[in-house]
Amino acid sequence: MSVSEDSLHGLLVLGLSGDSTAYHAFLMKLSAHLRAYFRKRLVRLPDEVEDLVQETLLAVHNHRHTYDADQPLTAWIYAIARYKLADMLRRRMGREALNDPLDDESDVLAASDTDAADARRDIAKLLEQLPERQRVPIQYVKLDGLSVVEAARATGMSESAVKVGVHRGLKALAAKMNGGK
């Protein structure tokens, strides 16, 4: 874990066990990371940044009971922030606007650009938990940027199997990050 993740993880765990001072510090530090994350992705919409920070902090607070302390914090927070960003873009611009700011696989805590390696490690750690028929298509399509056709050729799987693998794998990862629900 990076220094940022270690620090945030420790504060969140203390907060979850009842330490309100640690939880407040967690939210304050997290807000700085979220602000950088959203600013980087919303250069053309700077007025939306603070609203998204607040929406994401509220979602983290409301879903804190679903966080599994054994899982990477960055992946959990990144999933929440990414969905909040997607919701905002859908509301503002429709489906075609979803491609640009969401396709970056770096996570929220890597917004400072020093933790990108940690984000990749966390993603790899989560992917290791998936069966190969889900892990490999996600790696090729979502992380490496191959098309479904290219991933099918590279793996020897059918295009349908690649699509199903990605879908089921992402669904399984979401369930793991939401505490198995």
Specify the CATH architecture of the domain 3-114. Orthogonal Bundle (1.10)
pLDDT at 2: 58
Tokens 């629900």 sit on residue? 181
pTM, entire model: 0.53
Structure tokens at 83: 């969905």
d(CA 153, CA 13): 44
CB 41 within 8 A of CB 119: no
pLDDT at 107: 47
Q: Using 50, 70 and 90 to split pLDDT, how confident is the model at 1?
A: very low
Which comes out higher in pLDDT, residue 124 or 55?
55
Percentage of the chain beyond pLDDT 90 is: 32
* Res. 40: pLDDT tops 80: yes
Domain positions in the chain are 3-114, 129-181
Q: Which fold has domain 129-181?
A: Arc Repressor Mutant, subunit A (1.10.10)
CB 36 within 8 A of CB 111: yes
Average pLDDT over residues 119-126: 75
